Amino acid sequence: MKIKILTLFPNMFEGFLNESIIKRAIDKGVVTIEAIDMRSYSQNKHHHVDDTPCGGGAGMVLACDVVDRAIKANSTDKSYKILMTPQGRCYNQGIALDLAKKEEIVLICGHYEGFDERIRSFVDDEISIGDYVLTGGEIPSMIITDSITRLLDNAIKEESYEGDSFMDGLLEYPQYTRPIEYNGMKVPDVLLSGNHALIKKFRRKESLRRTMKRRPDLIEKANLSKDDLKLMKEIEEEE
């Protein structure tokens, strides 16, 4: 996969691209990720990329001609172009799974007061990472890049993410490791039993329990089996 990030602050990505799973995925050739400075596509002698809003108002607005040239220079017919904006559809694991199937992705980072409305016509999608506003689209683009990269073949072991929160519509079950007991808190005995059927049932039940408590909205949308419903009844009786 190829991911290109169009940004006014490419230096923000230096640590992100040179650490942990992202760096290993790049080194293995699983993904190529490039942070590209949109200022280089300004035709203004001072490399201005923004201007005051038409009609007046505070702040500066990202210019459509600069962004258009940057997108055209860094995309192909295969590129899926995404604008980072708090007005976009809210990002989730399902979207991450869909994007992980793309060959090429171009992420456009907004900044300042906003961007010229005409920029929307240059992209295929608009994505928000939540109902709040950041200073720019750089951090959201890192989040999307990270969440996609870990799903790519050979980035990490498939079993490392297939039980993640949201992969099946629920929150992930609690995890434990050594020491077996710490400050009076013990690892549940079932996880030490070696009985894989019981462990699987325990994990599913705790996944349901955690989701019921923390994100009941997910329960309403989840595709639950008859066994799940039985486990939920057990949980309600225990509570």
User: Of the listed 37, 51, 113, 146, which one is catalytic?
Assistant: 113
179 is catalytic: no
DSSP letter assigned to residue 74: T
User: Of the listed 86, 116, 206, 209, which one is catalytic?
Assistant: 86
CA distances from 212 to 136, 205, 207 (A): 34, 10, 9
86 is catalytic: yes
146 is catalytic: no
Instruction: Calculate helix-pair angle for 226-238, 196-214, nearest 10 degrees.
Output: 70
The span from the CA of 140 to the CA of 137, in Å, is: 5
User: Of the listed 164, 168, 172, 228, which one is catalytic?
Assistant: 164
Q: Edge-to-edge strand order for the sheet containing 32-37?
A: 32-37, 2-7, 104-109, 79-90, 125-128
User: Of the listed 116, 150, 206, 209, which one is catalytic?
Assistant: 150
168 is catalytic: no
**What residues act catalytically?**
86, 113, 150, 164
